[in-house]
Structure 1
Amino acid sequence: MQVTETLNEGLKREYAITVSAAELEEKVNEKLAEAQPEIEMKGFRKGKVPMPLLKKQFGQRLLGEAMQETIDGAMNQHFEASGDKPALQPEIKMTNEDWKEGDDVNVEMSYEKLPEIPEVDLKSISLEKMTAKAGDDEVDEALKNLAETAQDFKARDEGAAAADGDQVVFDFVGKVDGEAFEGGSAEDYPLVLGSGSFIPGFEEQLVGAKAGEEKDVTVTFPEEYQAEHLAGKEAVFSCTIKEVKEPVAAELDDELAKKFGAESLDALKEQIRERLEAEYAGAARQVTKRALLDKLDEMVKFDLPPTLVEAEAKQIAHQLWHEENPDVEGHDHPEIEPTDEHNKLAERRVRLGLLLAELGQKAEVQVSDAEMTQAIMNQARQYPGQERQFFEFVQQNQQMQQQMRAPIFEDKVVDYILELAEVTEKEVSKEELQKAVEELDEE
């Protein structure tokens, strides 16, 4: 076998590989000899079929296998000897398309190799890390919002009209074409006006109703209503209003705390404080991580594989186009051409991705099975009732696993760098932290 370099330009490499006919024949003969003891053929005992007959019977099929194995072996041997790591799967094509049995095989192999990543003195990196405490006012505001979710209702004064946000307790009977339909009736039903619990147009007609009144509500079921026999049809609901109640925020006391699993109001406040400060810490980490990536991007420069940058730029352009055109769900649209801004962002992402991968590999950073399982479980919660199916889908999909593993790996590498870097803490207000996070979105 002969391997000749035909292109060495930046990270681009091309090689001409020639596999002689004699090598292929030898490989085929080896395969036949290996299989001969197990082959049975009419007229011959097991393992006694003559080689010429075996070659006539199986030679063509084995020739293709021998060709593929020989070329794969040449590739592996080349990468082991050269130390090159291809950025993407090498492109292999046969150059003598008029090849026939007995000819040498001429193959062209081309790829872009991953660049040499320069050493980085991580201990020389200086960063500022924001920290924010949850003040009493923020805790009280969060507690007030929590109390509103646990609101109760009390009866309005006699004769008071129901307003948006009030709870109306009523009986109703729904009819289509004068006939009551299944599931269209209830007694003592508590409905919060404005909640959107009923079909569109229903709740608005009960605004202004008073206890003791009888009122007909006329609505049209949506065309896509789940009950097909009602979809698109007009219905009249005969309603008897029994009570009109106004919302009352829950009392801020130990009883409220117990509703949310805390022993006392003070314990609930402490839980809220811890949750708020955990949110602040997460936001501060985003700011610190961006600052770290900015520094690394400034510190380290190296050649980038053009195909990786091109693929990343196309992905960025495609993703941003869909964000700007949310009504288009599929991908049946004109090809999106990346702009200079997309290409610049792609270069940054590819550079930082390669750098973090190199740093993580050298530091032997690993994503554990437990971390992957936790990530899958977290994402599975987005599909209520289908968690098991989602879990099984991810287990069977290598690409999906890689997509989920990548951000975990990146965060672990970032943690590794931050341990070595010089990080000083700066206490800031919630507003200052929020402004810093908003600036990240603007960049």
Structure 2
Amino acid sequence: MNVTVENLGPCKKLLRVELDLAAVDAAFASVTKEYQRHAQLPGVRAGKAPRDLILNSFGPRIDEEVKRKLISDAYPKALEQEKIRAAVQPDIEEIQFGRGQTLQFAATVETQPEFELPEYKGLPVKRETVVITDDDVDKALNVLREQRTDYKDVARPVTAGDIAVVNYTGTCDGKPISDTAPTARGLTEQKAFWIRCEAGQFIPGFTEQLHGMNAGEKRTVNVDFPPDFVSAQLVGKKGVYEVELAQVKERILPEVNEEFAKSFGTESLDKLRAGIRADLEADRNSKASRAVRDQIIQALLGKVSFDMPESIVLQETRSVVYNIVQENQQRGIPKEAIEQQKDAIFANANASAKDRVKAMFLLNRIAEKEGVKVEQQEILERVQAMAQQYQMPIQKLIKQLEERNGFGEIHEQILVGKVLDFLQLQAQVEEVPASAPTA
């Protein structure tokens, strides 16, 4: 096999491969014999068909199979011969092939980047110390109390903490709010809508203006939509609501006692508190570990620079763009506004994609050097967990994964996780106080 290599740029090469006539003839002979052995032809016993009859009947199919087989065998051997590490599947073109002649083809291949691994052991990172206080547990218990809230109709004015059941219509600049924000129909009109009368609920400033109202009373409520409002088209605008109070409901929270604890399947209040503490500790430890991993990745990214395969960066960029667009649409931003920002969106997505791809190559190279591998059992366990999470038969999930190269993604996720676990163990960790404890 003769191979010539031409550099087309960073991470891109052109391979020209030629197989000699002997290799081509041998492949034709092998494939033709297989057809003779298994072909079903009228009036001919299986395995007894003459070669000429086989060629007349299946010639084009044999040619195609020989060509496919020769190229699929020759391409990886050419990579190995030239010590080229391909990053993606090649573009095969300029194929010259036929009986009685050599096989020639060209393969444009994007290669894995060439770089020296930076020092990756002993990276300095900061990890927030996890401390769960009694106050943290109390806050979590209050969340559980909220889940068990009862409601009682009361014949009195609305006060803070009540549930106001209201009918309302909203306008902006004298027109229905949906004219300004088409996706915000729920902000335009509602019947029997429950609003908890506490600051920050619904639209800022709305619930405070309901205080003192009685059932059956009507009132005009004026609001200013804040800069971080969920519907971007309404940011900075003023809204006017005509509100009718239908009912006032008082919230009845259960007492935190032994009976309350048993309603959650625990033996006692002490054990419920202990379980909450353990859950909070596990959650914060997980967040602290993710923060350490992010620091490790950022440190590695800053230590080395190299070119990357364009197609992989582009594919990742498209994925990031898709996620950004989906997020903006969910926030109610119209397609026209997104289209106006497309250049900025693409630029931000491309920068993020480059970091992701760069991190992928770095972590994979570390995995190679340290002998980190993924076992089939680990992939199977991950698939089983996914099937349970999605409440899907495992065979159906396996089929879906096979159709979209999902097993490759799972392998990559597990490998990256194992490498980051390794790097975290090797890092120089400085424990620091938690910046903002959360329940």
TM-score, normalization by structure 2: 0.69
Shifted more, 8-17 versus 39-48: the winner is: 39-48
Displacement of 1:316 in angstroms is 1.9
CA 1:425 to 1:52, structure 2 compared with 1: closer, same or farther past 3 Å?
same
Residues 284-313 of structure 1, C-alpha deviations (whole Å, 9 max, x = no match): 122211111111111233332222222222
Displacement of 1:107 in angstroms is 1.5
Q: What stretches of structure 2 of length at least 5 have no aligned partner?
A: 166-185, 195-212, 217-247
User: Which has the higher Rg, Structure 1 or Structure 2?
Assistant: 1
CA 1:394 to 1:59, structure 2 compared with 1: closer, same or farther past 3 Å?
closer
Q: How does 1:44-443 map to 2 (within 5 A)?
A: 47-94=47-94, 104-152=102-150, 201-202=191-192, 246-326=250-330, 339-361=346-368, 362-366=370-374, 368-369=378-379, 371-373=381-383, 375-377=385-387, 379-380=389-390, 387-389=391-393, 392-398=396-402, 399-431=405-437
Q: Is contact 2:10–2:308 with CA below 8 Å preserved after alignment?
A: no
Q: Is contact 2:32–2:55 with CA below 8 Å preserved after alignment?
A: yes
Cα separation, 2, equivalents of 1:426 and 1:162: 46
Displacement of 1:418 in angstroms is 0.9
Displacement of 1:42 in angstroms is 5.6
Cα separation, 1, equivalents of 2:406 and 2:38: 41
Cα separation, 2, equivalents of 1:50 and 1:268: 81
Displacement of 1:75 in angstroms is 0.5
Displacement of 1:130 in angstroms is 0.8
Displacement of 1:357 in angstroms is 1.8
Paired residue total: 359
Cα separation, 1, equivalents of 2:322 and 2:193: 42
SS of the residue corresponding to residue 109 of structure 2 reads strand
Cα separation, 2, equivalents of 1:18 and 1:82: 14
Cα separation, 2, equivalents of 1:268 and 1:69: 64
Q: Is contact 2:254–2:260 with CA below 8 Å preserved after alignment?
A: yes
Q: What stretches of structure 1 of length at least 5 have no aligned partner?
A: 169-195, 211-243, 381-386, 435-443
Q: Is contact 1:254–1:264 with CA below 8 Å preserved after alignment?
A: yes
Cα separation, 2, equivalents of 1:44 and 1:417: 66
CA 1:39 to 1:138, structure 2 compared with 1: closer, same or farther past 3 Å?
closer
Cα separation, 2, equivalents of 1:87 and 1:259: 55
Q: Is contact 2:387–2:393 with CA below 8 Å preserved after alignment?
A: no
Q: Is contact 1:132–1:281 with CA below 8 Å preserved after alignment?
A: yes
**Superposition RMSD on alpha carbons, in Å?**
3.9
SS of the residue corresponding to residue 121 of structure 2 reads helix
**Aligned residue number for residue 175 of structure 2:** none
> What amino acid is aligned across from residue 343 of structure 1 in structure 2?
N
> What amino acid is aligned across from residue 110 of structure 2 in structure 1?
E
Cα separation, 1, equivalents of 2:334 and 2:106: 40
**Aligned residue number for residue 7 of structure 1:** 7
Cα separation, 2, equivalents of 1:414 and 1:283: 14
Residues 4-24 of structure 1, C-alpha deviations (whole Å, 9 max, x = no match): 223364321112223456643
Q: Is contact 2:372–2:419 with CA below 8 Å preserved after alignment?
A: no
SS of the residue corresponding to residue 280 of structure 2 reads helix
**Aligned residue number for residue 237 of structure 1:** none
Residues 322-343 of structure 1, C-alpha deviations (whole Å, 9 max, x = no match): 322336999xx98966644333
**Aligned residue number for residue 220 of structure 1:** none
Cα separation, 1, equivalents of 2:380 and 2:95: 48
TM-score, normalization by structure 1: 0.68
**Aligned residue number for residue 18 of structure 1:** 18
> What amino acid is aligned across from residue 364 of structure 1 in structure 2?
V
Cα separation, 1, equivalents of 2:346 and 2:191: 47
